[in-house]
Amino acid sequence: MFELKAQMYFSAAHHLLNYDGACENQHGHNWLVEAYVKGTELDKSNILVDYKEIKKNLKEVLDYLDHKDINELPEFKGISPSSEILSKYIYEQMKKKIPCTNKVSIWETPTSCASYYEE
């Protein structure tokens, strides 16, 4: 089994709903996103997925979120856009573009990370 990882950053604001604490107030993060693809079949160049392809698609997904108030985006109206929810959203968008996407991790700080994958 082969697994590749590409990383990219985006910056955005959000606030958590139904939360009692500082994060209920609007605040921002410079999120680090890691997109993983996994598979067993390599192409004729012995590549699973070209890193350029992973990064291009990840950039398209993250450009939609970048420098936005995430709570105001239609996909997140009325829900708490936690890192867990964002990792799932990015995973689902990447899976549409690169079917062998198998996990997305999103770091809101250097020591706090949420991941989403399906078993």
Mean pLDDT, contiguous 10-residue spans, the chain (119 residues): 98 96 95 98 97 98 98 96 98 98 97 96
| Cα separation, 47 vs 32, whole angstroms | 25
Q: Among residues 67, 75, 84, 118, which one is catalytic?
A: 67
Tokens of 115: 């991941």
Is 113 a residue of the active site? no
Distance CA 28, CA 26 (A): 7
Q: What are the domain boundaries of the chain? A: 2-116
Give the CATH number of domain 2-116; options: 3.30.479.10, 3.50.50.60, 3.40.190.10, 3.30.70.20: 3.30.479.10
Residue at 63: amino acid letter: D
Beta-sheet strand order (sheet of 27-39): 2-14, 27-39, 101-109, 112-116
Q: Report the pLDDT value the prediction gives residue 118, as an integer from 0 to 100.
A: 93
Query: Is 75 labeled as catalytic in the residue annotation?
Result: no
Q: Is 100 a catalytic site residue?
A: no
